[in-house]
Amino acid sequence: LVVAGKPQPLLDVSGLDRAAAVQVVDAGGHVGVLYNDLGAHAPALDEPFRLVRGDLAVLDGRGVVTDFDSRDPYGARVAAEGNPQPWWRQHMVWLLLLVGVVVFMLLAARVAQVRRRRATAAQGH
């Protein structure tokens, strides 16, 4: 099972019998289902099936064996949605950069203040 012509297969289905691949496809604004038998014999589908996650599934006689999202085959998007990070963790780099700039500005202001005091003290003595 190869997705989008990529050289690395998403799933090796060679040697399967009584299994099928089902994919939801979109062409010309029309949505449909593409069905392909994977072995010499088609699976006996007694009940309707449902794609829960993704647009690609492998079926056998019991129904959906596994399903994939061809746009996110490794589930990174699903994992991110299932475990959302707080706002501050998503923008940690920018927050650290902002804190660094503020600390640098405070240090620069302090150095300028010390130099002014020394300059006025040197003129006064």
Q: Quote the strand ranges of 1-125, DSSP E.
A: 20-27, 30-37, 56-60, 63-68
Comparing CA positions, the residue from 36, 35, 38, 47 lying closest to residue 18 is 38
Comparing CA positions, the residue from 78, 52, 71 lying closest to residue 63 is 52
**pLDDT for 114:** 95
pTM to 2 decimal places: 0.48
Q: Based on the number of CB atoms within 10 Å of its own CB, is 42 exposed (0-12), middle (13-18) or buried (19 or more)?
A: middle
The pLDDT tens digits of the residues spanning 56-98 come to: 888 888 888 878 877 776 666 666 666 777 777 778 899 999 9
| Cα of 36 vs its chain's centroid, Å | 28
Of how many residues is the chain composed? 125
On average, the pLDDT of the chain sits at 82
